[in-house]
Amino acid sequence: MSEKKKMQTELEQRRESTQATRPEIQKVDFVWMNGELVAWDNATVPVMTHSLHYGTGVFEGIRGYGSEDKLYVFRLGEHFERLLESARICDLECKYTSTEFENACVDLLRANKIRGDCYIRPIVFVGFSGINLGFINYPIDAAIVAFPFKQYFAKAGLDVCVSSWTRIYDPVTPPMAKICGNYVNSVFAKREAAKNGYDEAIMLNATGKVSEATGENIFVVKDEELVTPSVGSSILKGLTRDTIIFLSKKLGVEIIEREVGRSELYTADEIFLTGTAAGIAPVLSVDKKPVGNRKVGAVTEKLAKAYFDLVVGRETFGRDDWVTRVY
Ligand SMILES: Cc1ncc(COP(=O)(O)O)c(C=O)c1O
């Protein structure tokens, strides 16, 4: 086979691998919808649901970690507080308080008898009424879905690229809110990366500085100093990011929040991504340039271990309030 043909075949295979043919999410018995537990197959919305057309919804991603007969949910209350902040930014009048959502979430996990690792997806969205972009007096619906979930990335170490797409920024649609429509920006970057054979994309903000990955924050280690783009760098203020900042201080790793230049990615000793779905994901190369020696570095390893101990309830590091015990 000629070199050109080989490359074409490889590209085709990569393209196909981005198109799943069966649902990845495993159905469970119930979905929480507008205050009630509804059978999974009945938890549907009309095709003319406003948010389906205009991205007018906000959501969260929360993780539960099962070990033996226990199930722990990490930073449950703060996820719902962020959901309500996103709703406020998006002008959605949510009917539920953070505490009501927390209770609904625990009820849902118990009703579905979920015991292993899982993912929880709350969403607040503009429902079915009309096509007016102003959505005045339209229903604001809410749902929570929980399903078994192991890991977001199929690999333990990631090969990433810097995206050709610029990260959205505050005067356009605020990246600090988890607004459904915001994720088109992430989807563009993620699909471009996947088609080019990368596991993930790092996005630069409007001033050309590093912002974040498509669904994760980024940390860079250089000369034993840990750096992460500051909140003003067009990022989502990740709860995993916050947890890593907390753990760094606990474990005596120097941590700095500041603007990060693209070139710093090419000279880093270690890089890792953080997110609720992704956990702590080491980056082994950026734009095909190896990070350090392409091995998981000591700082990444230390923080990843501490993070895992914390989420499975093995260690509290003084924050036993961060873990909600379901069973
Ligand atoms: C764009 C983006 N950045 C960062 C993160 C990481 O945030 P968290 O650690 O709260 O999951 C996420 C995931 O929610 C995200 O979607």
What do you get for the CA distance between the two ends of the chain, in Å? 57
> For residue 69, what pLDDT band results from cuts at 50, 70 and 90?
confident
What pLDDT is stored for residue 22 in this prediction?
A: 82
**CATH number for the domain that contains residue 198:** 3.20.10.10
H-helix segments, the chain: 3-17, 50-54, 76-89, 98-111, 183-195, 239-251, 262-266, 298-311
90 CA distance to ligand 1 centroid (A)?
17
Q: Is the CB of 122 under 6 A from ligand 1?
A: no
Indicate whether residue 217 lines ligand 1 (CB < 6 A). yes
Please tell me the distance between residue 275's alpha carbon and the centre of ligand 1 in angstroms: 5
| Distance between CA atoms of residues 115 and 148, nearest Å | 9
Based on the fold, state whether residues 55 and 192 are members of the same structural domain.
Answer: no
pLDDT score of 9:
59
| Number of neighbouring beta carbons within 10 Å of residue 124 | 27
Res 235 pLDDT > 80: yes
pLDDT digits (tens, 9 = 90+) for 243-271: 999 999 999 999 999 999 999 999 999 99
Q: Please identify, by atom number, the ligand 1 atom nearest to the C-alpha of residue 178.
A: 16
Tell me how far the alpha carbon of residue 65 lies from the centroid of ligand 1, in angstroms.
18
- Between CA 122 and CA 316 the distance in angstroms is 26
**Residues labelled catalytic:** 178
| Single residue among 130, 148, 166 that ends a domain in this structure | 148
Q: 122, exposed or middle or buried, with CB in 10 Å at 0-12, 13-18, 19+? A: buried
Distance (Å) of CA 78 to CA 18, 251, 321: 32, 23, 11
Ligand 1 pocket check for 212: Cβ under 6 Å = yes
Ligand 1: residue of 205, 276, 311 to mutate (most ligand atoms within 8 A of CB) is 276
In this prediction, what percent of the chain has a pLDDT beyond 90? 92
Does residue 189 lie within any of the structural domains? yes
**Residue nearest ligand 1's atom 8 by CA:** 238
How high does pLDDT run on average in the chain? 94
The encoded tokens of residue 193 equal 């990366």
Instruction: With respect to residue 131, please indicate whether it lies within any of the assigned structural domains.
Output: yes
Radius of gyration of the chain (CA): 20
Going from the Cα of 156 to the center of ligand 1, the distance in angstroms, rounded, reads 18
82 and 133 fall within a common domain:
yes
Determine the residue type at 92: L
13, part of any domain: no
Question: What is the C-alpha to C-alpha distance for residues 23 and 14, in angstroms, rounded to an integer?
Answer: 19
pLDDT at 33: 98
Same domain, 304 and 184: yes
145-194 per-position pLDDT tens digit: 999 999 999 999 999 999 999 999 999 999 999 999 999 999 999 999 99
Domain boundary among 102, 122, 148: 148
* The total number of structural domains that make up the chain: 2
Share of the chain above pLDDT 70, in %: 94
For residue 263, how far is its CA from the centre of ligand 1 (angstroms)?
Answer: 23
Q: 7 C-alpha vs ligand 1 centroid, how far in Å? A: 34
Q: Please say whether the beta carbons of 112 and 146 come within 8 A.
A: yes
Atom of ligand 1 nearest to the CA of 276: 11
Atom of ligand 1 nearest to the CA of 182: 1
Residues 117 and 224 in one domain: no
One-letter identity of residue 238: G
Residue 25 lies in a domain: no
Per residue in 15-42, pLDDT (tens digit) is 555 555 688 999 999 999 999 999 999 9
Check residue 3 and give its pLDDT.
Answer: 61
Alpha-carbon span 42 to 154, nearest angstrom = 31
Identify whether residues 305 and 167 lie together within a single domain. yes
> Domain boundary at 148, 183, 206, which?
148
**pLDDT surpasses 90 at 45:** yes
Domain span holding position 179: 158-311
Check if the beta carbon of residue 160 is closer than 8 Å to that of residue 201: yes
What does the alpha-carbon distance between residue 248 and residue 217 come to, in Å, rounded to a whole number? 15
| pLDDT attached to residue 135 | 98
Do residue 212 and residue 137 come from a single domain? no
- Mutate which of 205, 240, 272 for ligand 1? The one with the most ligand atoms within 8 Å of its CB, which is 240
Rounded mean pLDDT, 93-115: 97
Alpha-carbon distance of 225 to 235, in angstroms, equals 21
Atom of ligand 1 nearest to the CA of 235: 3
What residue owns the CA closest to ligand 1's atom 4?
216
DSSP labels, 125-182 = EE-BS---TT-TT--EEEEEEEEE---SSSSSSEEEEEEEEEPP-TTTS-TTS-BGGG
| 326: in domain | no
